[in-house]
Amino acid sequence: QMSNEEMLERIRSIKEQMGDDLFIPGHHYQKDEVIQFADSSGDSLQLAQVSAKQQAKYIVFCGVHFMAETADILTNDDQKVILPDMRAGCSMADMADDKQTEEAWQELTALFGDTILPLTYVNSTAAIKAFVGQHGGATVTSSNAKQMVQWAFKQKKRLLFLPDQHLGRNTAVDLGVPLEHMAVWDPIARKLEFEGDSEEQIRVILWKGHCSVHENFTTKNIEQVRKNHPDMHIIVHPECKYEVVQQADLAGSTKYIIETIEQAPAGSKWAIGTEMNLVNRLINNHQDKKIISLNPFMCPCLTMNRIDLPHLTWALEEASKGKNTNQITVPNEIAKNAKQALKRMLQGTR
Ligand code: 13P
Ligand code: SF4
User: Are the CB atoms for 266 and 288 separated by under 8 Å?
Assistant: yes
User: Are the CB atoms for 279 and 221 separated by under 8 Å?
Assistant: no
Residue 335 lies in a domain: no
Other beta carbons within 10 angstroms of residue 313's beta carbon come to 21
Number of domains, the chain: 3
25: CA distance to ligand 1 center in Å?
A: 14
119-158 burial string, b = 16+ CB within 10 Å, else e?
A: bbbbbbbbbbbbbbbebebbbbbbbbbbebbebbbeebeb
For residues 177 and 276, state if they share a domain: no
Torsion of CA 274, 276, 282, 285, to 10 degrees: -170
For residues 148 and 249, state if they share a domain: no
| Residue at a domain's end among 158, 175, 209 | 209
Residue whose CA is at the smallest distance from ligand 2 atom 7: 211
Q: Is the CB of 95 under 6 A from ligand 2?
A: no
Residue 17 lies in a domain: yes
Residue 345 lies in a domain: no
Q: How far apart are CA 1 and CA 5, in angstroms?
A: 12
> Which residues are 123's β-sheet partners?
none
Q: What is the pLDDT of residue 197?
A: 86
- DSSP SS3 for 254: helix
Residue 340 lies in a domain: no
For residues 147 and 219, state if they share a domain: no
Q: Which DSSP helix (H) or strand (E) runs through 22?
A: strand 22-23
Mutation test residue for ligand 2: of 87, 140, 303, 306, the one with most atoms within 8 Å of CB: 303
Mutation test residue for ligand 2: of 95, 140, 213, the one with most atoms within 8 Å of CB: 213
Segment-wise mean pLDDT, segments of 10 residues, the chain, 350 residues = 96 98 98 98 93 95 98 96 98 97 98 98 98 98 97 97 98 97 98 93 98 98 98 98 98 97 98 98 98 96 98 98 97 98 86
Does 212 carry a binding-site annotation? Answer: no
For residues 176 and 218, state if they share a domain: no
Which residue segment(s) compose the domain that 127 sits in?
93-209
For residues 21 and 103, state if they share a domain: no
Ligand nearest to the CA of 163: 2
Q: What is the pLDDT of residue 349?
A: 67
For residues 104 and 76, state if they share a domain: no
Torsion of CA 250, 255, 258, 261, to 10 degrees: -40
Q: What is the pLDDT of residue 196?
A: 85
For residues 85 and 97, state if they share a domain: no
Q: How far apart are CA 285 and CA 278, in angstroms?
A: 10
Please state, in angstroms and as integers, the Cα–Cα distance from residue 27 to each residue in 37, 326, 330, 340, following that order.
12, 18, 20, 23
For residues 121 and 203, state if they share a domain: yes
Residue 299 lies in a domain: no
User: Are the CB atoms for 170 and 251 separated by under 8 Å?
Assistant: yes
**80 half-sphere exposure, CB direction, 13 A CA radius:** 19
ipTM exceeding the 0.90 mark: yes
What CATH number has the domain bearing residue 120? 3.40.50.10800
Residue 348 lies in a domain: no
| Residue at a domain's end among 209, 240, 257 | 209
For residues 112 and 177, state if they share a domain: yes
Residue 106 lies in a domain: yes
| Residue at a domain's end among 209, 234, 259 | 209
For residues 205 and 231, state if they share a domain: no
For residues 38 and 55, state if they share a domain: yes
Atom of ligand 1 nearest to the CA of 90: 10
Does 118 carry a binding-site annotation? Answer: no
Other beta carbons within 10 angstroms of residue 332's beta carbon come to 9
> Which residues are 22's β-sheet partners?
58
Residue whose CA is at the smallest distance from ligand 2 atom 1: 90
For residues 100 and 163, state if they share a domain: yes
Residue 344 lies in a domain: no
